[in-house]
């Protein structure tokens, strides 16, 4: 026999802090700090959140990392990678910071693969895509230019813009 038990007095679990909400909050913070949002001043955003960004020559296979060191949150970015890739890495690590820092440290290899192997990596990628390419602005850019000009507008690689375009088409992580 099915028993329906519902405790009204029990507090509901908090809503999950999802990548889309985190990206919107990040944009609000950027605006409060009068940072440029298109293309996003992602370095300024990291500073606004109190993080230290380290640009280091890392092994080719390493994109970046997030760690806490003596009470300071640090994001490492592989300085040998293309500037657009560094921007995506920085945004991805900010995603880990906002969404998953209880599970730090993170070290990341190749990013924004459609087959990202676990939920945290997919969420950090979604955050990065949404914070660098906000929905309304991205759709507008997409309707008026080819993917190369869209990528230039947002300071991302063509691959990242294509991946974002595909999520728009599939309506993943979009309002």
Structure tokens at 18: 């999802």
Cβ at position 93, least distance to Zn ion in Å: 7
Question: 94, 124, 129, 156: which one contacts Zn ion (CB under 5 A)?
Answer: 124
Q: What is the DSSP secondary structure assignment for residue 37, as one 8-state letter?
A: B
Cβ density class 65-91: b for 16+ within 10 Å, e for less: bbbeeeeebbbbbbeebeebbbbbbbb
Cβ at position 34, least distance to Zn ion in Å: 29
Distances from the Cα of 64 to the Cα of 15, 32, 90, 124, 160, angstroms: 29, 27, 8, 12, 17
CA distance 73 to 23: 19
- Is the Cβ of residue 41 or residue 121 nearer to Zn ion in the bound state? 121
Cβ at position 88, least distance to Zn ion in Å: 11
For 3, counting Cβ atoms within 10 Å of its Cβ (0-12 exposed, 13-18 middle, 19+ buried), the class is exposed
Residues 82-121 vs Zn ion: string with x where CB under 5 A? ------------------------x-x------------x
- Is the Cβ of residue 109 or residue 145 nearer to Zn ion in the bound state? 109
- Is the Cβ of residue 101 or residue 152 nearer to Zn ion in the bound state? 101
- 22 counts as binding Zn ion under rule CB under 5 A: no
- 161 counts as binding Zn ion under rule CB under 5 A: no
- 42 counts as binding Zn ion under rule CB under 5 A: no
Count of positions on this chain that bind Zn ion (CB under 5 A): 4
Interacting residues toward Zn ion by CB under 5 A: 106, 108, 121, 124
């Amino acid at each position: 026999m099915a028993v329906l038990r519902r405790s009204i007095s029990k507090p509901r679990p908090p809503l999950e802090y999802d990548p889309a909400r985190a990206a919107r909050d990040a944009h609000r913070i950027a605006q409060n700090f009068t940072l440029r949002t298109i293309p996003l001043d992602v370095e300024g955003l990291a500073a606004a959140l109190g993080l230290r960004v380290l640009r280091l020559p890392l092994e080719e296979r390493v994109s970046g990392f997030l760690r806490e060191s003596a009470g300071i949150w640090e994001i490492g970015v592989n300085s040998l990678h293309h500037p657009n890739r560094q921007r995506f890495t920085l945004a991805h690590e900010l995603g880990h910071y906002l969404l998953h820092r209880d599970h730090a440290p993170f070290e990341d290899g190749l990013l924004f693969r459609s087959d990202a192997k676990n939920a945290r990596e997919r969420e950090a990628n979604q955050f990065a895509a949404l914070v660098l390419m906000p929905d309304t602005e991205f759709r507008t850019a997409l309707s008026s230019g080819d993917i190369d000009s869209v990528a230039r507008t947002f300071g991302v690689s063509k691959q990242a813009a294509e991946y974002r375009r595909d999520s728009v088409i599939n309506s993943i992580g979009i309002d």
